[in-house]
C-alpha cells in the first residue's frame, strides 16, 4: 500500500456552523451568512439545512427568501470565525503534526511513521473529528481526506460532505474520482480547462493518463507536469509561491456609496493591505486604486520607491482619490486597492539621501510595525491612521 503523507481537514459550512454553535436557537434550521444586509446583497455561506433548498455561496438574499421562506440571516462576523479557526488549529496540533493552516476553514496535517499507514491515518482522522466536536463545538463537522500527497488528500476531502472521510492513492485511482469534472479538481482553472479541451482531454481519466511531459506543454509550465505526477500519487512537494501583490476590494452597501463615506472605506482597505504586506516581509513599488462608479469605472496608479509605510501609502491613496473624483461625480459602487511590484524588505536597496539603510525599515516603517503589534495584541483597531470606516462583511485575502 502506498504510504500516506498528507491529511486534509475541510470544515463543513464553516461560517454557518460557527453561528449555529454560538446560538443554539439556530441549530437544525436553514441559516445564511450575509456580508450586506439588504435585498441586493448575497449569501457568503449557508448551513446544510439551507443548502438543501438550493441556497449556496453567491445566492442573492431575495432569491434565498424565495427558495426558503423560513431562512434565517446572520451578518458575517470575521473575528469570531478567526478565533474558532485558531482554536481548531490548536486542537489538531495537540494530536497531530499541523503542517499548514490553508485557509479559514482548511487545515493540512503531515503524516509519517505509524500514521503513514492507511489504517492508522484513518484512525487519526476519526480522532481529529472527535476532538473538534468535543473541544470546539458539537455543531462543527469536517470532511477529511487522506493521500500520499497534498493534492490527493485535498481532492479526497471534497468527495464526501458533510462529515466525510475518504482516501485516494494509486490503488484506487482514477476510478475513485472519474465522476468529477475537470474543474472540480483544485488547480484546474477555466483557462487550464480550456487548454485541456483544446488538447482533447475531456475527463478525469484522460487527464490521469496524460503524459506528464505533454501536460507541461499544455500548461506552458512545469506545473502541468507536477500536477499529473501528483495526481498519480507521487509525493510532489508544494512549490513556494511568490507574491504578486496585496489587495483588498469591497462592494459597498448603499449607505457607504456616497463619496465621502466610500473614501473612508478605501482608507481602511489600504491599512489592512499594508499591514498584511509588512507581516510577510514585503515592500511595494506600485500603488493602484480602482473605483466602480455609477457613471463608469475609473482607476489610477503610481510607481514609487519601495515602501511599507502605511502613512505614506494613505497619502498616495488620498491623491489618487482626488484625481479620480475630479473626473467623476457618481457614487461609488465598489472600491479596490492593490500594492504591487513587491520586493522583500531584506532585498531593498539603501538610499544615502533618504536616509535608508539596505534591508532595514526606516523610522516611519518601524512605527507602523509597533502599531501592528498593538492592534494584534488587543484584537481591535486600538491605533489607527486617522479616520476610516471598517466595512461590514469584510474578509481579508491572503
The residues annotated as belonging to the active site are: 106
Question: Backbone phi, then psi, for 75, in 5-degree steps?
Answer: -70, 145
Q: In angstroms, rounded to a whole number, what is the distance separating the alpha carbons of residues 72 and 85?
A: 23
Instruction: Note if the bond before 123 is cis, omega within 30 degrees.
Output: no
d(Cα 166, Cα 147) in Å, to the nearest integer? Answer: 9
* Cβ–Cβ < 8 Å for 47, 365: no
Q: Please choose, from the candidates 4, 10, 50, the residue with its C-alpha nearest in 3D space to the C-alpha of residue 27.
A: 50
Q: Beta strand 142-147 with 165-167: parallel, antiparallel or unpaired?
A: parallel
* Sequence-ordered alpha helix ranges (H) in the chain: 14-22, 48-51, 61-67, 78-95, 118-135, 150-157, 190-198, 204-208, 212-219, 222-231, 259-279, 310-325, 363-378
Q: Which residues contact 200 (CB under 8 A, 6 or more apart)?
A: 206
Which residues is 288 bridged to in the sheet?
301, 338
The three cell numbers of residue 33 are: 451568512
Amino acid at each position: 500500500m502506498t504510504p500516506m503523507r498528507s491529511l486534509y481537514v475541510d470544515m463543513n459550512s464553516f461560517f454557518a456552523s460557527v453561528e449555529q454553535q454560538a446560538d443554539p436557537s439556530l441549530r437544525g434550521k436553514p441559516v445564511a451568512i450575509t456580508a450586506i444586509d439588504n435585498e441586493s446583497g448575497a449569501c457568503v455561506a449557508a448551513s446544510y439545512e439551507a443548502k438543501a433548498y438550493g441556497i449556496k455561496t453567491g445566492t442573492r438574499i431575495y432569491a434565498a427568501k424565495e427558495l426558503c421562506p423560513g431562512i434565517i440571516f446572520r451578518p458575517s462576523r470575521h473575528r469570531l470565525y478567526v478565533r474558532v479557526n485558531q482554536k481548531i488549529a490548536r486542537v489538531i496540533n495537540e494530536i497531530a503534526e499541523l503542517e499548514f493552516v490553508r485557509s479559514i476553514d482548511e487545515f493540512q496535517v503531515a503524516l509519517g511513521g505509524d500514521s503513514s499507514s492507511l489504517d492508522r491515518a484513518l484512525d487519526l482522522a476519526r480522532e481529529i473529528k472527535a476532538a473538534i466536536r468535543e473541544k470546539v463545538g458539537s455543531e462543527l463537522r469536517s470532511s477529511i481526506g487522506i493521500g500520499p500527497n497534498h493534492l490527493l488528500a485535498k481532492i479526497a476531502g471534497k468527495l464526501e460532505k458533510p462529515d466525510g472521510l475518504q482516501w485516494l492513492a494509486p490503488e484506487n485511482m482514477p476510478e475513485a474520482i472519474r465522476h468529477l469534472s475537470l474543474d472540480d479538481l483544485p488547480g484546474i482553472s477555466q483557462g487550464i480547462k480550456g487548454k485541456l479541451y483544446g488538447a482533447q482531454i475531456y475527463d478525469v481519466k484522460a487527464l490521469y493518463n496524460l503524459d506528464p511531459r505533454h501536460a507541461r506543454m499544455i500548461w506552458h509550465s512545469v506545473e502541468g507536469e507536477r500536477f499529473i505526477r501528483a495526481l498519480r500519487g507521487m509525493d510532489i512537494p508544494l512549490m513556494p509561491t511568490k507574491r504578486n501583490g496585496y489587495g483588498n476590494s469591497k462592494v459597498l452597501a448603499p449607505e457607504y456609496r456616497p463619496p465621502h463615506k466610500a473614501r473612508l472605506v478605501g482608507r481602511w482597505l489600504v491599512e489592512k493591505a499594508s499591514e498584511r504586506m509588512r507581516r510577510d516581509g514585503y515592500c511595494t513599488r506600485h500603488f493602484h486604486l480602482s473605483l466602480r462608479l455609477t457613471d463608469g469605472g475609473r482607476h489610477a496608479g503610481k510607481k514609487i520607491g519601495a515602501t511599507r509605510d502605511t502613512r505614506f501609502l494613505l497619502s498616495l491613496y488620498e491623491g489618487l482619490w482626488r484625481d479620480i473624483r475630479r473626473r467623476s461625480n457618481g457614487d461609488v459602487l465598489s472600491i479596490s486597492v492593490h500594492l504591487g511590484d513587491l520586493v522583500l524588505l531584506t532585498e531593498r536597496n539603501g538610499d544615502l539621501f533618504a536616509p535608508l539603510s539596505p534591508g532595514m525599515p526606516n523610522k516611519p516603517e518601524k512605527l507602523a510595525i509597533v502599531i501592528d503589534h498593538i492592534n494584534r495584541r488587543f484584537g481591535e483597531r486600538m491605533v489607527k491612521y486617522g479616520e476610516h470606516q471598517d466595512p461590514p462583511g469584510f474578509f481579508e485575502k491572503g
